[in-house]
Amino acid sequence: MSFASLRDQRRAKDAKSLLKSTGSAPQNHVARRNGWPVVPNDPYELSESLEIRKSPSAGRTLFSRTLFNPGSVVLSCRPHVHVISNSRISSHCATCCTEVSETVSLKRCSKCAVAYYCSTACQNADWPMHKPECVSLRDWAKSAPDPGVAIPGEAVRCLGRVLRLREREGYASKWTKQMSSMQSLRQNLPSSAAESHTHIAHALVRYLGISGPEGLNKYGITSAGDLVDIVSQFTTNSFTLSSSSLSPIGVCISPTVALANHSCDPNAVVVFPRPSGTTLQEPVMQIIAFKNISPGEEILTSYVDTSQPRHLRRQDLRETYGFTCACDLCEGRDNNADADPRYCVWCPKECGGKCSLAELDDQQLECFRCQAKYEATAQEEVLDRVRLATEALEKATQLELSDPARALRMTTNMLALVNMPYSSHPLLGLLRLHVALLITSLSSSSTPSDRTLTEAITTGFRVQHGLHDVLPAGHPVRGISLFELGKLLAMDPPPGEEDHREAEMIPPHGPQRLALAMSTLVQAREELRVGFGASGELVGQVDALLKELEREVQVWRQGVRNVLQTGSIISST
């Protein structure tokens, strides 16, 4: 039987089932709000505070029916499917995503030696899905041309689970209806994405052990177009699965969360906060408001990194999602008085103004404040350094996990050559990567140096200045950056080393240093309460560290009182 025949049979069967269940054909009369049709929430399980409307240009989207204050949980659910990425697969539980630590050990599946679990309960919970997956993983490893590809990529493993769950849940189930309702870009697939879609489709067929069209039929795939639709739905609607601190650890799919449309100036954010007291099994996926969202206002999240300049944001959106963003930020409607802080260089006359690098073409760099222009030679030198820094950022990012020492050398060398505002690309990216690499170096060293600690702190301050200019208050990235800076300030510099501190930025060891750490952590807590919700795991970590620092401050104060009273320091602990 051909693909076309199978498809026609399925569509005829679906139509009969619909008429039988409703008694009539579906009606075209729908309610409208502000000119937009209101779509029934079914098959989605949404609270009464949300409703779905249909945009003429952007399809279905979420709207608020109540007021959400900053830090409010707009939506909370478990992803339909999630898998751990290849680089993290041995360090995170495949079921609950808990990371291996001093208190958490992982045991791998004895058959495929790929999946890891933190407990028997997690392994048992995952077994219905892992059982067929385990066979596929073993077969894949046997036929792999080299050890480097002995495990299929996370996209293939995630899609494998999607199809097997479609078969298990049934095509008429609410789960399958939600998954099938996700948008596909097959008809308008960007040429840049066609090759990757084809590669994923071929790998998926191989992974599932399918040799012909009949093998796909049990998953509800009756044509090559159906298969491309499945891949396109995944690439268009999948989310990066992250830890509570936004570190990427895998990929996941949630049709409900995917209802929220994109804006580079969003009012909400998608996070995995691991909230305490939840009745949902991990991982929990939430949309959190970090601005006031009024009744009747659209829920908007960002599909890309909004600290990036416009041309990079638009490029990512076109290649992955097939549209060009026309939000206020992209169209320059938010602020036209100065250069975009995300992509600029300092004024050649050092007046404190900035020159925009956006859409430069053959024009001269001109300061928005004093209108001074770069001379041709100086401008070419500036642009060359920007290009070199961009290439260095891409290369160092690729090396971050595989060769962090080399990546650190690259960021160190490049930061000495770039003179841009801290908010500007690629400098902000280099600074963020540099501090992350320094923190890794401090964590892995048994005797961290004062020089490394001081460099991490000063870089952390620069990152804060940069993020402050490009991200709104309450954005989770700002909160995490402040938290990391507070933890660095709370570390004791090794005694007896040469002092490398920048005195005006970092107080010496003692109550002043602890006070700065505490004030930074208090700021972090306020930002994290908004970006992750008040019950997020990171908020609890900040509270615990603040209590520890408060005890240290009391020890110092008691020591000073002892000196004043007895002339010697007597430990109060």
Tokens of 27: 């009606």
**pLDDT at residue 391 in the model:** 97
Q: How many residues does the chain have?
A: 573
Tens digits of residue pLDDT in 182-199:
888 777 766 667 778 888
Check: CB of residue 90 under 8 Å from CB of residue 108. Answer: yes
Q: What is the pLDDT of residues 368-423, one digit of tens each?
A: 999 999 999 999 999 999 999 999 999 999 999 899 999 999 999 999 899 899 99
Furthest CA-CA distance within the chain: 96
User: Which pLDDT band, with edges at 50, 70 and 90, does 562 fall under?
Assistant: low
Tokens linked to 502: 């920048």
Q: The whole model's pTM is what?
A: 0.86
Query: What class does CATH assign to 46-78+254-336?
Result: mainly beta
Of 38, 20, 19, the residue nearest 29 (C-alpha): 38
Question: Strands 248-253, 81-84: parallel, antiparallel or unpaired by DSSP?
Answer: antiparallel
Average pLDDT over residues 256-283: 85
pLDDT at 28 over 60: no
Compute the distance between CA of residue 337 and CA of residue 283 in angstroms, rounded to an integer.
43
Q: What is the pLDDT of residue 363?
A: 83
Following DSSP, what letter does each residue of 325-360 receive, concatenated?
--SHHHHT-S--SS--TTSEEE-TT-SS-EEE-TT-
Cα–Cα distance for residue pair 191/348, rounded to 1 Å: 41
The arithmetic mean of pLDDT across residues 511-540, rounded, is 91
Of all residues in the chain, what percent carry a pLDDT higher than 90? 60
Tokens for 296, please give them.
């009747």
Radius of gyration of the chain (CA): 27
DSSP letter assigned to residue 16? H
Question: Which uninterrupted H or E stretch holds 141?
Answer: helix 120-143
What lies within 8 Å, CB to CB, of 438 at 6+ separation is: 408, 452, 455, 456, 459
The residues near 170 (Cβ < 8 Å, ≥ 6 apart) are 176
The pLDDT, as a whole number, for residue 510 is 75
**pLDDT for position 411:** 97
DSSP 281: P
* Rounded CA separation 377/391 (Å): 21
**How large is the average pLDDT for residues 354-364?**
82
Closest CA to 18 of 171, 178, 167: 171
Give long-range contacts, CB 8 A cutoff, 24+ apart: 525-528.
Answer: 527/473, 527/474, 527/475, 527/476, 527/478, 527/479, 527/482, 528/476, 528/479, 528/480, 528/483
List the domain boundaries for the chain: 46-78+254-336, 79-239, 340-451, 471-492+508-573
- Contact by Cβ (8 Å): 17, 172: yes
Distances (CA, A) of 468 to 422, 424, 475, 480, 515: 10, 12, 10, 13, 22
| pLDDT for res 11 | 43
In whole angstroms, what is the distance from residue 475 CA to residue 290 CA? 7
How far lies 4's CA from each of 1, 14, 193, 461, 490, in Å?
Answer: 8, 15, 26, 61, 66
Residue 298 has pLDDT above 50, yes or no: yes
**Is 465 within 8 Å of 422 (Cβ atoms)?**
yes
Confidence of residue 499 (pLDDT cuts 50, 70, 90): very low
The pLDDT of residue 287 is 97
Q: In whole numbers, what is the pLDDT of the chain averaged over residues?
A: 85
Residue 72, CB-side half-sphere exposure with 13 Å CA sphere: 15
Q: Is the dihedral of CA 230, 231, 237, 242 positive or negative?
A: positive
pLDDT above 50 (res 7): no
Identify the pLDDT of residue 6. 41
Identify whether the C-beta of residue 489 lies closer than 8 Å to the C-beta of residue 458.
no
Decide if pLDDT at 203 tops 50: yes
From residue 311, how far is each of 93, 249, 388, 404 by CA, in Å?
A: 37, 27, 18, 29
Share of the chain above pLDDT 70, in %: 83
Mean pLDDT over 479-499 rounds to: 80
Measured distance CA(422)–CA(345) in Å, rounded: 10
Residue 148: DSSP 8-state: G
Confidence grade of residue 102 (pLDDT, cut at 50, 70, 90): confident
Predicted confidence at residue 570, as pLDDT, reads 43
Backbone angles phi, psi at 41, to 5 degrees: -65, -25
Architecture of domain 471-492+508-573 in this structure: Alpha Horseshoe (1.25)
Sheet holding 238-242, edge to edge: 81-84, 248-253, 238-242
Among residues 282, 339, 279, the alpha carbon closest in space to that of 309 is found at: 339
Q: Find the mean pLDDT for residues 31-36.
A: 64
Contacting residues for 220 by C-beta, under 8 A, at least 6 apart: 10, 166, 167, 171, 176, 226
Give the pLDDT of residue 527.
Answer: 96
Q: Each residue of 132-169: pLDDT tens digit?
A: 999 999 999 998 767 667 899 999 999 999 999 999 99
